[in-house]
Chains A and B, each alone.
Chain A
């Protein structure tokens, strides 16, 4: 039946009821043996889908009452300035060839390049940096290449930058426009007059763009960081200004004394980096632990060691983490074979080290989240409270994660552990969360809201 359609052989007069009949036939034919119906349903279903395009309709499109031939005929195009006659295949309907211009001629658009006379040049357009010859050449090229200045710059005989060419072209056009206009008011609305081409601005803009383009990823990150820092500083200053109005006199007394005391030359053999007390005492807001204020406080120091900077940044990054998490981060670093304190602390190395630590923190957070989710899942399953086996499992899993850094075991392994425990214990509980299911729901939701 379908084969006949494909071959284009004449169809029986009622195609639709035929298809309906054929469908149930195909239905019983196609039901597979050996696989269950459900599985077969997964792969697209038992019934073959109705083709959205009726195959028979495709063949019937060309109306049979018209006679179509294709002929090799000559044609001209209004877009051409000469009388060149080319040939192409033309669809002739009932012996009548198509009329009208060549269908693509309407796309032949060009720019209206203003041409000036020699008189006008002498009167309005002379310029110390441009000879008449050059200006003429420029305008010729502009017309030829439809103001594609990159090409014009390339073909221009003497070496000129794109901005110079544009400047000359636009200022000449503008001058001519203004000169030819009966009154200045009439041309005031013309874009050339309203917004003249600004060479210096353009050059600046392009230079800035190329700078941005050639920025390395590192610089991009730094810029983003600085911008974020600036934003945070602005915000914290707003908050601090409100909070600190009454406290103004006090820090000003404490400030310089402690700063001087800390900077006192040579007689402090306090542990590395004397600048630490000076930097730590000064800021009295609660935003100290933030990355941005660390950067800012580092910049306040006139000099510091790269290792000191790294320590500060690490501290700021781990400020929200407890001691145990920090220990886990360090353990992970060791497992990865990375020195806790870089041996060659260059700027690049320290930046990478910091990013790595942050990523490990993210990782640990995600693991914790996953644990909670699984716990929630298991408690939801059982709908009950669990205790001992759960905690033992959790500590075991945590210990596993601390010790080994093998990705696969942690993810699905955890899931399996839960299931195995279930099977072993039978109807017993394996939930880790002692609270009610509603409560268990609450906690993961809080975790979801937290930003990672």
Chain B
């Protein structure tokens, strides 16, 4: 069985980076004795929609020179579901002026709060569970403390929120991972084509002993932004329609010009159109 999996990978690989791929595959067989990680589910991608960003509050009267804002950087599920089933830990890389700028958050909710005065780029590295992926993912987010419109004094009640939506895609996930998250609310798993069957493994385990890892009732959840693809889809659809209509028109014109054997007469009836 493992042989067929490897063969399939070699066949549907990409352009001829044959040698590199062969080496990569031997690595896989070497370091994973775990059952299920060798087997991958083909032609299916698991998608985890996430939102990451910062929320910053002005401290107002309690502000000092070096600590004017209290901010939180986080990675949450786009629907506020628990990401702990997918993410093992997150490493936030802060500005070197912070103590221990490399902060590791090992359990959901994956967030970090700090006090400071400056805006800088925060590095967010997401590490996944071993059956999910052995490569980590790097994201970057600019911490924003000061609101767009600088009119008037900053409010301590209304924070500055900067969130980005993105989706983590796992092409060809391992069978083990697939089975584990098949019905997990934080993960988008396409339905298997009919006829396929996977061994039914234990349902999602909540490995977070501290309690729930979801952010539905998070203290900051009232500031979370809503990301709906509907608007964007609508706009894209209408834009495409316009472009397509224009293309049709141009094509017609081109064919008219191609069909014309003689150059146009200056004062012919065609000009009236």
Contacts and interface: CB of A to CB of B under 8 A. Distances in A.
Interface in B162-185: 165-172
A259 B251 CA distance: 46
Contacts of A296: 12-15
Contacts of A211: 193-194
Contact of A303 (B12, B170, B244): B170
Given A248-B19, A275-B135, A337-B239, A305 B169 contact: yes
B242 interface: yes
A29 B193 CA distance: 75
B1 interface: no
Contacts of A255: 17, 19-20, 23
Interface in B52-82: none
Nearest to A373: B257
Contacts of A353: 236
Contacts of A240: 15-16
Contact of A302 (B134, B140, B228, B263): B134
Contact of B236 (A273, A285, A305, A356): A356
Interface residues on A, range: 35 or more
Given A255-B20, A344-B227, A236 B233 contact: no
Given A305-B167, A344-B165, A346-B167, A241 B16 contact: yes
A297 B14 contact: yes
Nearest to A418: B264
Nearest to B26: A256
Contact of B254 (A237, A343, A373): A373
Contact of B169 (A230, A266, A309, A348): A309
A349 B233 contact: yes
A259 B20 contact: yes
A405 B243 CA distance: 10
A293 B14 contact: yes
A360 to B, nearest CB: 6
Contacts of B240: 352, 355-356, 359
Given A259-B20, A269-B123, 13 more contacts: A293-B14, A300-B14, A302-B133, A305-B166, A346-B167, A352-B240, A359-B244, A366-B250, A370-B257, A377-B260, A381-B263, A407-B245, A407-B249
Closest 4 CB pairs of A and B: A296-B14, A255-B20, A240-B16, A252-B19
13 contacts: A233-B12, A236-B16, A255-B23, A256-B24, A275-B135, A282-B17, A296-B15, A305-B137, A306-B168, A306-B169, A343-B232, A349-B236, A373-B257
